């Protein structure tokens, strides 16, 4: 399907030039996306570390749940705080600060002498995870041209998947007494690389225009797009939108009023709906608890751990598939194609646990689990960090994106603290069938509410959705 561009889009550099975008554009995406790798590693490593730290620190079941959930609570705080800071101070300084918090939290986790200290350290890590998930996609969206914006932003989710896979491999390699300290401490290395790599990178040109610094924005876009790429027209298009929003919110009360404005409702509904369904469809219930659920279902411990590594591999393959597809297929179409299949795979997984224990039953469980992880990862988990920065208006993009990110973490926390209880109360099959139904409801939401954003400028998307809300 051909996507019609707004008048003047060619002049703003939307059409790729033969020489291709400068290498700096890819460096911006790759280095900032290291925040995604840290996000994935720090949220994934706890599943392996728990096996030994629970014994070393004498953790009860309740204490283990608190340690797992602490990072999610921190993320719910880090997301909105980073949204306010990135709106005031810029995207780049916030990402550098996030890298420092990642390093501090990793060291504190590795050196934690008690369960309470570890919980606080994981809470600090959560601040960085929430801030990274909120700020990095916005930074990439505001620096990338429309033609390749999707694949550059999906790099963040791919790095999250790679971080999770690395955490499973490290956990398997370092399993044993005291190994959990090294598992946590190794996260310092990518945090230092992220901080150092961000230092020479430019600020978001759209943030600069919003601050009235058109000359700096012009210089940054020239570095990112190359000469003769219609930079002046692009800067003017952004500036015109900023002038039209001269009543942009200042301060928390004004921001709250702006987020409640009628014209913002369509975009906010899309961002928050996708954020909620990204968790309600069950992905993190599987990522956090699949080894535990498989062990309880009669699988051997080693098989359960290796299945965890398989989940990491599926997440990486899903990230690669999403990165290759999101600009070719489109965000909306990708979800409409994959979410029904994701729900079907979850339903097969749920029903497979009703079969008599056998080799066929175990293979059915594992293959259905892998199919679900891949399909949900390539669809929903690819789009969730991409769509909110695309649809939310520039004047409130930082705070509104942080609200969407907080929604992700809030529903993630809900799943984390209810999944095992739901299995105990309602049974494994009933719980997973509920997740399967949520995949179907997500498909209906996308069909009715989510527009296609592929190949469109952020300014064009904003104008369209704001007209819908007027």
Q: Is the pLDDT of residue 250 over 70?
A: no
Q: What is the pLDDT of residue 87?
A: 85
Contact 3, 454 (CB under 8 A): yes
What's the whole-number average pLDDT of the chain? 84
| DSSP reduced 3-state for 260 | coil
**pLDDT tens track for 129-146:** 989 988 888 888 888 887
Contact 176, 44 (CB under 8 A): no
**pLDDT tens track for 95-139:** 999 999 999 999 999 999 888 899 999 999 999 998 998 888 888
The rounded distance, in Å, linking the Cα atoms of 267 and 343 is 26
Which of 52, 25, 326 lies closest to 170, judged by CA?
52
Percent of the chain with pLDDT over 70: 89
The rounded distance, in Å, linking the Cα atoms of 367 and 101 is 38
Q: What is the pLDDT of residue 337?
A: 96
The residue among 216 and 145 whose pLDDT is bigger is 216
Contact 159, 296 (CB under 8 A): no
Q: Is the pLDDT of residue 467 over 80?
A: no
| DSSP reduced 3-state for 389 | helix
Alpha carbon of residue 89 to chain centroid: 22
Which tokens is 303 given?
Answer: 């098989």
pLDDT band at 255 (very low <50, low <70, confident <90, very high): low
Q: What is the pLDDT of residue 229?
A: 63
Q: Is the pLDDT of residue 15 over 60?
A: no
**pLDDT tens track for 260-301:** 677 788 889 999 999 999 999 999 888 877 777 777 677 766
φ, ψ for residue 138, nearest 5 deg: -65, -45
Region 53-57 average pLDDT: 76
The rounded distance, in Å, linking the Cα atoms of 6 and 65 is 50
Q: What is the pLDDT of residue 55?
A: 74
Contacts with 267 (C-beta within 8 Å, 6 or more apart), sequence order: 391, 392, 393, 400, 462, 465, 466, 469
Name the strand (E) or helix (H) holding 446. helix 428-449
Classify residue 12 by burial, with Cβ atoms within 10 Å: 0-12, 13-18, 19+: buried
Residue-level length of the chain: 470
CA distance from start to end of the chain: 28
Q: Which fold has domain 10-201+245-469?
A: Growth Hormone; Chain: A; (1.20.1250)
Name the residue ranges covered by the structural domains of the chain: 10-201+245-469
Q: Is the pLDDT of residue 17 over 50?
A: no
Which tokens is 239 given?
Answer: 């500036």
Region 424-436 average pLDDT: 94
Residue ranges of alpha helices (H) inside 226-282 are 231-244, 252-259, 265-280
pLDDT band at 148 (very low <50, low <70, confident <90, very high): confident
C-alpha triplet 142, 146, 149: angle, nearest 5°: 65
């Amino acid at each position: 399907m051909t996507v019609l561009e707004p008048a003047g889009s060619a002049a703003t550099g939307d059409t790729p030039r033969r020489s291709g975008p400068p290498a700096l554009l890819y460096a911006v995406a790759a280095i900032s996306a290291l925040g995604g790798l840290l996000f994935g590693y720090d949220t994934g490593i706890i599943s392996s570390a728990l096996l030994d730290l629970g014994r070393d620190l004498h953790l009860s079941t309740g204490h283990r749940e608190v340690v797992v959930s602490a990072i999610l609570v921190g993320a719910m705080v880090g997301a909105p705080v980073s949204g306010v800071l990135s709106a005031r101070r810029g995207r780049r300084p916030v990402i550098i600060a996030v890298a420092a918090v990642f390093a501090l939290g990793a060291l504190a986790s590795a050196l934690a002498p008690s369960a309470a200290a570890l919980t606080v350290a994981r809470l600090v890590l959560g601040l960085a995870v929430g801030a990274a998930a909120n700020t990095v996609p916005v930074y990439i969206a505001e620096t990338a041209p429309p033609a390749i914006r999707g694949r550059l932003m999906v790099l963040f989710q791919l790095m999250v998947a790679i971080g999770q896979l690395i955490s499973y491999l490290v956990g398997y390699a370092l399993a044993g007494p005291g190994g959990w300290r090294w598992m946590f401490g190794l996260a310092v290395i990518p945090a230092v690389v992220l901080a150092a790599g961000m230092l020479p990178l430019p600020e978001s040109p759209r943030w600069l225009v919003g601050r009235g610094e058109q000359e700096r924005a012009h210089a940054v876009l020239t570095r990112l797009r190359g000469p003769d790429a219609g930079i002046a027209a692009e800067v003017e298009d952004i500036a015109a939108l900023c002038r039209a929003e001269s009543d942009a919110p200042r301060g928390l009360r004004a921001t709250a009023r702006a987020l409640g404005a009628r014209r913002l409702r369509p975009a906010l509904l899309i961002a928050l709906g996708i954020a909620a369904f990204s968790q309600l469809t069950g992905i993190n219930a599987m990522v956090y608890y699949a080894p535990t659920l498989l062990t309880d279902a009669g699988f051997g411990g080693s098989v359960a751990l290796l299945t965890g590594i398989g989940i990491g591999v599926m997440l990486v393959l899903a990230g690669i598939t999403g990165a290759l597809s999101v600009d070719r297929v489109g965000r909306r179409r990708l979800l409409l194609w994959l979410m029904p299949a994701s729900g079907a795979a979850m339903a097969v997984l749920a029903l497979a646990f009703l079969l008599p224990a056998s080799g066929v039953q175990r293979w059915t469980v594992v293959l259905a689990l892998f199919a679900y992880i891949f399909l949900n990862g390539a669809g929903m988990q690819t789009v969730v960090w991409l769509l909110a920065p695309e649809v939310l208006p520039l004047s409130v993009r930082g705070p509104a994106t942080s609200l969407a990110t907080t929604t992700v973490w809030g529903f993630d926390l809900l799943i984390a603290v209810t999944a095992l209880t739901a299995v105990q109360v309602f049974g494994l099959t009933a719980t997973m069938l509920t997740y399967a139904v949520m995949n179907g409801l997500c498909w209906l939401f996308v069909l009715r509410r989510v527009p296609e954003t592929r190949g469109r400028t952020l300014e064009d998307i904003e104008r369209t959705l704001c007209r819908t809300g007027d």
